[in-house]
Amino acid sequence: MRLHKGIAPLLLASDDPATPGKLAQARKIFEGLQHGTIDRSLFTDNANFYFSEQALKDFAASLGPLGTPEEFIQIRQALRGGMKLRVYRHQIPKKRS
């Protein structure tokens, strides 16, 4: 195991009790995009307008072939304009040709 993979979760840990649930939700959204689907109840009308059927097909075409992330973690959290901003990082497995 690489050292940064063991240290990063400790350094980036949050004391916000909602973090584990939000991380699971973000991962589920990412996986849905890989398959061209989203749970529209999680998004605003504007976001749902953006995620048209064509956009979902495009996400599936580009994200689907990448496979399941080896790592999916929250790397930052901050208040921004009255909302909580959460930034995630995912590590996609390297594929050999």
Would 50 be classed as within a structural domain? yes
Q: Which amino acid is at 66?
A: L
3-state secondary structure of 84: strand
- Distance, in Å, from the CA atom of 6 to the CA atom of 26, rounded to the nearest integer, reads 21
Domain interval for residue 55:
3-91
Would 48 be classed as within a structural domain? yes
The pLDDT assigned to 46 comes to 97
Would 35 be classed as within a structural domain? yes
The number of distinct structural domains making up the chain is: 1
Give the bridge partners for 28, in sequence order.
none
| Segment 63-79 mean pLDDT | 92
Bigger pLDDT: 87 vs 9: 87
- Distance, in Å, from the CA atom of 94 to the CA atom of 59, rounded to the nearest integer, reads 19
pLDDT in tens, 1-50: 555 555 555 555 567 888 899 999 999 999 999 999 999 999 999 999 99
